[in-house]
């Protein structure tokens, strides 16, 4: 239903008021949705003892204890004043489940090392692209004959081999059937990128350290001793397995093997490994990014969306006026949760549109804005791109120029309309990563549309 008025012979409509919300909207309401808040809370989960419940004060203990800047301390003091934080609990099952996901997720392990140089979600997206470009560098260099070894495996032992029945030849025979080792020379030749690439390969368990043991029993033959080799993917698992053994006469020889590479990531011709498989490498990174987005979805649903206000929030500023549309780049349900009366009082019963998906719907977008680099386009890794994810995840990505029914539904008249628009952008950085939406807002000033637009930030 239109409230029409005549303006110099042209029919015009009342001002359409549109809210566009970014992460700053949540932060303005003292909700811990910043990148560092999420990472700090998940580090607490990862480091928690087995079968532990965690509450709000435990998840954000460094902020509660004041082991942070005065600004951060004041932020969390306000959070505890405004919300029923004592009611928030992560159950033992939830903590255990998250813990396992975090330990095995390459992106989380990678970003743990970037807590000082990745401050915002924009930096987060930039770092994802940096990792993809590092993988491109890795794929650009072929192997030589010494890059991969399945014989003469280098390893460290706690004891001298010749003290026991097991010989170096026994080790080579056993290990050569089980694993291959990656030469550090290959990575060192990448010069200044060497350390970064090695870190990435380890974070995603493409190369790893293997922990082994050999149980020596005095009446065993040498061939029998070989059968008692065991391999473990962590030091703790090896020690637990040894502790479970009951043979009093057993002597365990420990050995560690570094730079073990999973052969599914390698191209092979006959018995020679020739290089990395790009599809497998990018596939691993993409799978882990999907799981990482699920971890963040859990954080929003289990922490942010569970914070109930101590008392209802009053409308303030322009929130008390009629609103025609709300678009949010956030994943939380903050607007609906804190201002339900605003939505209920609207004559047109507006709904919040989630541009990057909603944690409640479990369809969030987590990636980079575009494949700007030519070297990435050749691998067609579109699964990392937010535009691709928005289509696949069926988010409310259409935005302004595709909301004709809601905003610019034209009456059946033959002449141009002149509409007034007031767009209030609250807490969005206006970064180039969302350039398509920023351009769309300003395109309402097109001469063809004869609109008058006021944009407030």
Q: In a structure prediction context, what are the per-residue pLDDT tens digits for the chain, which is 457 residues long?
A: 334 443 344 444 577 888 899 999 999 999 999 999 999 999 999 999 988 999 999 999 999 999 999 999 999 999 999 999 999 999 999 999 999 999 999 999 999 887 777 777 888 888 998 899 899 888 888 888 888 876 667 777 766 665 555 666 777 777 776 788 888 888 888 777 888 898 999 999 999 988 888 776 555 544 555 557 788 888 888 888 877 765 555 667 788 888 888 889 998 888 788 889 999 999 999 999 999 999 999 999 999 999 999 998 877 666 667 788 888 999 999 998 998 877 666 555 678 889 888 999 998 888 887 776 666 677 778 888 887 777 777 776 666 654 433 444 433 333 334 567 888 888 888 777 777 777 777 777 666 666 678 888 8
Q: Would strands 452-456 and 229-232 be described as parallel, antiparallel, or unpaired?
A: unpaired
8 Å CB contact between 187 and 261: no
Q: Looking at residue 45, what is its pLDDT? A: 97
**Model pTM?**
0.83
What angle (nearest 5°) sits at the alpha carbon of residue 301, between those of residues 298 and 304?
A: 115
**CA dist 311 to 45, 174, 429, Å?**
29, 67, 29
Q: For residues 213 and 232, what is the distance between their CA atoms, to the nearest angstrom? A: 9
Q: Which of 111, 99, 98, 108 has the alpha carbon at shortest distance from 298?
A: 98
C-alpha distance across the termini of the chain, in Å: 29
Q: Would strands 10-21 and 325-328 be described as parallel, antiparallel, or unpaired?
A: parallel
Q: Looking at residue 439, what is its pLDDT? A: 79
Supply 414's token pair. 């033959």
Q: Looking at residue 306, what is its pLDDT? A: 97
Q: Looking at residue 308, what is its pLDDT? A: 95
Contacts of 197 (CB under 8 A, 6+ apart): 134, 137, 138, 187, 190
Q: Which of 88, 72, 200 has the alpha carbon at shortest distance from 134?
A: 200
């Amino acid at each position: 239903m239109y409230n029409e008025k005549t303006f110099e012979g042209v029919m015009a409509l009342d001002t359409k008021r549109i809210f566009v919300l970014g992460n700053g909207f949540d932060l303005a309401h003292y909700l811990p949705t910043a990148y560092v808040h999420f990472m700090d809370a998940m580090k607490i989960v990862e480091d928690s003892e087995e079968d532990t419940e965690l509450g709000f004060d435990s998840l954000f203990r460094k902020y509660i204890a004041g082991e942070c800047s005065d600004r951060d301390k004041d932020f969390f003091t306000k959070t505890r004043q405004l919300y029923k934080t004592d009611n928030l609990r992560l159950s033992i099952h939830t903590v255990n489940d998250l813990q396992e996901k975090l330990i095995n997720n390459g992106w989380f392990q990678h970003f743990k090392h970037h807590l000082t140089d990745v401050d915002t979600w924009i930096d987060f997206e930039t770092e994802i692209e940096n990792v993809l470009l590092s993988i491109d560098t890795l794929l650009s260099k072929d192997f030589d004959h010494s890059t991969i070894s399945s014989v003469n495996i280098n390893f460290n032992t706690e004891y001298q081999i010749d003290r026991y029945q097991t010989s170096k030849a026994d080790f080579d025979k056993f290990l050569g059937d089980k694993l291959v080792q990656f030469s550090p020379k290959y990575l060192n030749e990448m010069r200044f990128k060497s350390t970064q690439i090695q870190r990435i390969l380890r974070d995603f368990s493409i190369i790893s350290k293997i922990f082994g043991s050999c149980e020596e029993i005095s009446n065993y033959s040498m061939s029998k001793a070989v059968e008692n080799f065991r391999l473990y993917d962590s030091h703790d698992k090896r020690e637990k397995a040894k502790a479970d053994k009951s043979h009093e006469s057993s002597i365990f020889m420990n050995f560690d093997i570094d730079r073990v590479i999973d052969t599914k990531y390698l191209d092979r011709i006959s018995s020679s490994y020739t290089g990395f498989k790009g599809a497998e490498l990018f596939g691993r990174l993409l799978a882990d990014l999907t799981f990482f987005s699920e971890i963040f979805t859990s954080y929003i649903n289990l922490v942010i969306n569970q914070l109930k206000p101590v008392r209802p929030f009053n409308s303030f500023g322009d929130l008390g006026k009629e609103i025609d549309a709300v678009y949010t780049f956030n994943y939380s349900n903050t607007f609906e949760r804190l201002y339900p009366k605003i939505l209920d009082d609207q004559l047109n019963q507006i709904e919040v549109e989630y541009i990057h998906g909603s944690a409640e719907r479990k369809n969030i977008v987590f990636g980079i804005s575009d494949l700007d680099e030519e070297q990435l386009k050749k691998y067609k890794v579109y699964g990392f791109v937010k535009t691709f994810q928005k289509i696949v995840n069926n988010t409310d990505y259409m935005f302004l120029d595709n909301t004709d029914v809601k905003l610019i539904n034209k009456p059946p008249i033959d002449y141009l309309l002149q509409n007034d628009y007031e767009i209030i952008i609250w807490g969005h950085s206006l970064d180039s990563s969302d350039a398509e939406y920023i351009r769309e807002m300003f395109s309402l000033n097109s001469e063809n549309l004869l609109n008058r637009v006021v944009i407030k930030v």
